[in-house]
Structures are given as structure tokens and as C-alpha cells.
Amino acid sequence: METELAGEHPPTGGPPEPTTTTTTVDGDPGVGDTTGDGLAPETFIDEVDRLLDEVESALARLDDGTYGHCAECGSAIDDSRLAAAPTARTCANCGSVPADD
């Protein structure tokens, strides 16, 4: 007995399909948000700039020998924390304490 299921149900277990949103700007179709994550291009660029700054800062700490040491207390940052967040500047203890303003 053959049953055709293709196309009846969405596939499971795989990554979600990427989505892209295109909006119009000043009546020009195709110009606008095409980042696929719902962010406006300016917001997306700001986020990429912030991430790039964090990576450059981590590379500078690597060059000067301070990478992997907490910027607040000077103790070693756990390898698991650095593996999860390679640009981390603080240890888990200092990172969980709100900054004084």
C-alpha cells in the first residue's frame, strides 16, 4: 500500500527555512529589510558593528595577554564561558553583578 505524504506535512527535525522580508522605501520595491530576521538595515548594521567592536577588543586582549582574565576582578574566566561567549570580558561572578552607574 502506497501513501503519498510529500507536501502534506512540513518536514520535521531539520533547521527552519530562512525567511526574507522585503519592504518598500519611498515607493521603491525591493529596497528595505532584506536581512531575513526582521531587523531594519540600520539596526542590523549597528548590531554587526557592535559585534565587530567586541571581536576587535577580544583580539586586542589576546595580543596584550589579558584575554581570558576578568576585566573587573582579574581572575581567570572559565573555559566553558569563553567557549560559549569568546568575547566575554568578565568572569561569571562579575558578569552577573549589575554595573554601578
Give me the DSSP letters along 45-84.
HHHHHHHHHHHHHHHHHHHHT-TTB-TTT-PBPPHHHHHH
C-alpha cell at 45: 548594521
Give residue 96's pLDDT: 75
> What is the model's pLDDT at position 99?
53
Residues 54-95: tens digit of each pLDDT: 999 999 999 999 999 999 999 999 999 999 999 999 999 998
Cα angle 7, 9, 14 (rounded to 5 degrees) comes to: 100
Q: For the segment 12-46, what is each residue's pLDDT rounded down to a tens digit? A: 454 455 444 444 445 454 545 455 666 688 899 99
Task: Name the grid cell of 13.
Answer: 527535525
Residue 6 or 56, more confident: 56
pTM of the entire predicted model: 0.55
**Which of 94, 74, 90 lies closest to 82, judged by CA?**
90
